[in-house]
Amino acid sequence: MANFILRRIIGVVPVICGVSIVIFLLVHLAPGDAATALLGPQASEAAKQELRHTLGLDQSLPVQYLAWLARTLRGDFGVSIATHLPVLTLVLPRFGNTLILTFGSLLIAIVSGYVIGLLSALRANSLFDRLIMSVTLLAGSAPPFWLGLILVLLFAIQLRWLPVSGMDDVTGNGGVMDVLRHLALPAVTTAMGPAAVITRIVRTSLIEALGRPHVRVARAKGLKRSELLRRHVILNALPPVITITGLQLGYLLGGALLTEVVFAWPGLGSLLYDSITARDLPVIQATTLAIALAFVLANIVVDLINAKLDPRLREA
Amino acid sequence: MVLRRLALSLALTTSVLAATAHTGAEAAGTLVWGMPAETDSLDPHATGGWSTYQVTYQIFEGLVKEDLTKADEPTPPIVPALAKSWEISDDGLTYTFHLREGVKFHDGTPFDAAAVKFNFDRFWNESSPDFYKKAKAFVIAYTKSIKSVDVVDPMTVKITLTAPNYQWLRQGLQSYGQPLMISPASVKKYGNDGVALHPIGTGPFKFVERDQGVKTVLERNDDYWGTKAKLDRVIFRPLQDPATRVNALEDGEVQMITTPPWDEIDRLKGEGFKLSTNKNAPYINYIHLNFKNPALQDVRVRKAINMAIDRAGITKEIMHDTGRPEYGMLSPGTDAYDPNFKVYGYDPEGAKKLLAEAGVKDLKLVFELPQYGTGELVETWIQRDLKKVGIDVELRKYEWVTYLGKWAAGMSPDVAMNEIGWGMSTPAWTGVVTRCDAFPPGGINSGYYCNKEVDKLLDQAIATRDPVAAKAIYQKVNHIVMDDAAYVPLDDDLEPVLLSPKVKGFVNPPEDWFDLSTVSVE
């Protein structure tokens, strides 16, 4: 197992390097110039040239990339071009906020997906099941930003239960309850699509498991229903469900970045948006690096869980 | 059983969330402003852009300022700020500023001539150890006129210009690098980059904290030298998504939003929110016509384009009357603006006739534009209007930073038009975009218009001390530029601001930022 973990972690290094190179190239190949964006139209060409020199933007791409890599390996992410603030102080708190939103959504997606999927499977083809399948189809296909706006209109503007935007009440004293209230709508919005997918997979997987011969035998032996489900059905239905749940984690992270803009949730998504519009290279690099890292680590965790459940995978 | 417990705890969580609901609480005297963009650095010397000045205007002051407490002035009057008075020598070269006594920066250090000298050294004097290159790049429009800065005595400063420039004071109050006074002690303590997180000035509000992307918090400066602010606190919140800004206003999370979506304004007014506008915005939206494009060499073609566009239709149908048609290259926020100036009205038949006279058939033009959240409605309207007189327009859209770079670099000959919304509260701005020596790179005469007579008149205007005479010259310049049909002025925005009914005392002045010291929230 230790060997498996080590192999997976070593595998992360080329992925992260690849991501950082691609992002670096993409930002540099895009037209538009940080110096003009920053100094404004009235700045002289000499001033712009000087700024490009100060920022190292007048050097060749490989030189710029290697310089960035060397600094990053030392833990120096530089200073934001637009705000003059150290990049780490910008990215770290935002990263934490994105993780809060992602894990909040993951929890909602897993709990609701598993519970509803199970209920649906137990009443397969009933009216309830058919209704759930239609709702999940709808929830799975609707774009998250649209769902977000609908939820805001209903729960915040009409019913006035929950706040519209942000992570806490800017005039209040904060606290966990305040964050939870602000988390509710964006987390539900982000969770909706993945929850729908998980529900359908859980249902299919359980229906399949319920029809297996060993379950029929156990039932014939008079095993209690709860015991039957726990020991013979759910465990056997789990592997595909876990794999799909793991894949949803990536989707959740991506979805969270979009939802952040609609709900003004101060995570990496809105930071990325701001930094791209300002061609703020150090911030773009650090933000995408954080996203890539989160994505890769999430995948490792899923692999580990699957390997724990299915020993055959450890050798693969 | 497990399931039931789970379901129960979910239900409980939901009801607790609902029960703690909706404090929406604003503390007494706190204004929360939902802004369309995050501000950049709060160092006023080393930043540009009006959204940042909306914040820094509250914290910092210069020697003089524009009085933004009056809504109905055609242009904001220049009034004393940290200089209680000033004299301009007869030759127009020397400005002597008498500084206000007893003023303290927010860190408690005194404001005096040494502080003024330090600030000018920072953004202008390359030979000073306090010089900051980045600041000079931003404040350049103001500093390029300066020859020397001298301390006469602890409360008097003398600034000498290289040539008479009677728009100089106003040029220092525009949105690209403002010569505002920063506490020298704070710059020494936190370093040049540190000013962004420790902005310390003398203004009516003090900086409290900034959570990038979330909020910037200011509180009242109780030791302010002038009339103290009414609000206890101002909180600036970046809410990029227009729908989110509107929702936050309706929900009471913010009490003020700028750049509201046009389509929502009437509905929100109907719900009791207050709409504040100003008819003297210091900028206009306009199109540069490219003098390097072969099809636009003939003045009749340029005139036809000007006559083919139904500007009144744009401001009525698209902007829902929160905008006004513009027919000249002077922004309404300047004293030289004439609301009745109109060389080319909407006349599609006349445009067709001119095109026929010029022998133009099957004209195809490329129009470069930035992508905004408004879906380029105005540009599509223009495309349709020009099609009606027989001109095919290809719209080429670019993301903002890309566009800004292309615009500042000047149009290539295959491009016919590009657009921007810009202006200043000084009529000298017309020269910034029309002068022959403002060709890119370095200048932003993006369509390469050049008329030596315009340059001569602009030189004359800036050296004219009498404001009435200067105004007449700027109006003449405007006439020549439009006779040449060098640009297509389109419209201006009446700077709509939506306010909660709880907000009192808000003034929407002829400027892109506001004086929040007069505002209170019930």
Asked if B244 lies within 8 A of A262 by C-beta distance, the reply is: yes
CA A252 to chain centre: 4
Decide which of B256 and A151 is more confident: B256
For residue B442, the chain A residues in CB contact (below 8 A) are: 44-45
pLDDT confidence band for B207 (50 / 70 / 90):
very high
pLDDT confidence band for B406 (50 / 70 / 90):
confident
For residue A51, the chain B residues in CB contact (below 8 A) are: 134, 137
What pLDDT does B7 receive? Answer: 36
What digits encode the pLDDT tens for the residues B338-347?
999 999 999 9
What pLDDT does B98 receive? Answer: 98
What pLDDT does B329 receive? Answer: 95
pLDDT confidence band for B272 (50 / 70 / 90):
very high
pLDDT confidence band for B514 (50 / 70 / 90):
very high
What pLDDT does B306 receive? Answer: 97
What pLDDT does A313 receive? Answer: 63
Asked if A40 lies within 8 A of B24 by C-beta distance, the reply is: no
Asked if A165 lies within 8 A of B23 by C-beta distance, the reply is: no
What pLDDT does B124 receive? Answer: 94
Decide which of B241 and B154 is more confident: B154
What pLDDT does B375 receive? Answer: 62
CB pairs under 8 A between A and B: 187
User: What average pLDDT is seen over chain B?
Assistant: 90
Proportion of chain A above pLDDT 90, given as a percent: 14
Angle at B293 between CA B292 and CA B299, to 5 degrees: 95
pLDDT confidence band for B3 (50 / 70 / 90):
very low
Q: Poorest-confidence range of A89-103, B399-413, B498-512? A: B399-413
Q: Poorest-confidence range of A36-40, A62-66, B168-172? A: A36-40
What digits encode the pLDDT tens for the residues B84-127?
999 999 999 999 999 999 999 999 999 999 999 999 999 999 99
Give me the residue from A41, A83, A149 closest to B408, CB to CB.
A41
What pLDDT does B19 receive? Answer: 40
- Give the full edge-to-edge strand order of the sheet including B156-161: B83-88, B94-99, B156-161, B146-153
Alpha carbon distances (Å) from B507 to B70, B72, B73, B270, B494: 7, 10, 12, 21, 13
Asked if B405 lies within 8 A of A33 by C-beta distance, the reply is: yes
What pLDDT does A50 receive? Answer: 79
What pLDDT does A242 receive? Answer: 81
Q: How far is B357 from chain A (nearest CA, A)?
A: 38
What pLDDT does B234 receive? Answer: 97
For residue A111, the chain B residues in CB contact (below 8 A) are: 6, 10
What pLDDT does A302 receive? Answer: 78
What digits encode the pLDDT tens for the residues B438-461?
898 778 899 999 999 999 999 999
Which residue of chain A is at minimal alpha-carbon distance from B13? A180
Q: Is the pLDDT of residue A27 over 80?
A: no
pLDDT, mean of residues B182-211: 95
Distance between CA atoms of A79 and B46, rounded to whole angstroms? 15
> What single-letter amino acid sits at B75?
T
What pLDDT does B137 receive? Answer: 80
Q: Is the pLDDT of residue A64 over 80?
A: yes
pLDDT, mean of residues B379-392: 96
**Interface predicted TM-score of the whole assembly (ipTM), two decimals:** 0.79
Q: Determine the residue among A50, A158, A167, A171 to mutate to test chain B binding: the one whose Cβ has the most chain B Cβ atoms within 10 Å.
A: A171
pLDDT confidence band for B5 (50 / 70 / 90):
very low
What pLDDT does B21 receive? Answer: 40
pLDDT, mean of residues A149-155: 88
pLDDT confidence band for A315 (50 / 70 / 90):
low
Q: Is the pLDDT of residue B403 over 80?
A: yes
pTM for this prediction = 0.85
pLDDT, mean of residues B358-370: 93
Distance between CA atoms of A185 and A191, rounded to whole angstroms? 10
Q: Is the pLDDT of residue B1 over 70?
A: no
Q: How far is A293 from chain B (nearest CA, A)?
A: 22
pLDDT, mean of residues A159-164: 88
Q: How far is A64 from chain B (nearest CA, A)?
A: 21
Q: Is the pLDDT of residue A306 over 90?
A: no
